[in-house]
Amino acid sequence: EPEVTQTPSHQVTQMGQEVILRCVPISNHLYFYWYRQILGQKVEFLVSFYNNEISEKSEIFDDQFSVERPDGSNFTLKIRSTKLEDSAMYFCASRDGGGVETQYFGPGTRLLVL
């Protein structure tokens, strides 16, 4: 069964460093998403991406964040200068663009900023 994959599973970084989180969405999907979940809190929307551009972003997704689909399979989230409060689980999701808006999530990357 097709699935969304994410790498790395864990990332530890120093405050102020850049990190890139990688995702491979399901191959025939057209819409791509990043969410994050701070420990013990809700899953929060960060950004949606369609047709090679951002279609919507949340207030969390400020200038420190960027997304890219560098080729036909990968979808990346870059945090330019990490802060302590960026420590969270980051989930990538994708959907096929059909009538039902169901999204399929990857296993997540646990980011710890020290």
CB 88 within 8 A of CB 79: no
Q: Is 95 in the site for another protein (CB under 8 A)?
A: yes
CB 49 within 8 A of CB 57: no
Segment contacting another protein by CB under 8 A, of 14-22, 30-38, 61-69, 70-78: 30-38
Q: Toward another protein, which CB reaches closer, 65 or 105?
A: 105
Cross-strand pairs, 112: 12
44-73 binders of another protein (CB under 8 A): 44-45, 48, 50, 55-56, 58
The size of the chain, in residues, is: 114
Q: Toward another protein, which CB reaches closer, 33 or 75?
A: 33
Residue in the structure block whose two tokens are 């090679």: 52
Amino acid at 77: L
Q: Is 11 in the site for another protein (CB under 8 A)?
A: no
**Which two structure tokens, joined as six digits, stand for 48?**
């949606």
The backbone torsions φ and ψ at residue 46, rounded to the nearest 5 degrees and listed phi first, read -110, -55
Which positions lie near another protein, rule CB under 8 A? 4, 31, 33, 35, 41-45, 48, 50, 55-56, 58, 89, 91, 93, 95, 100-108, 110
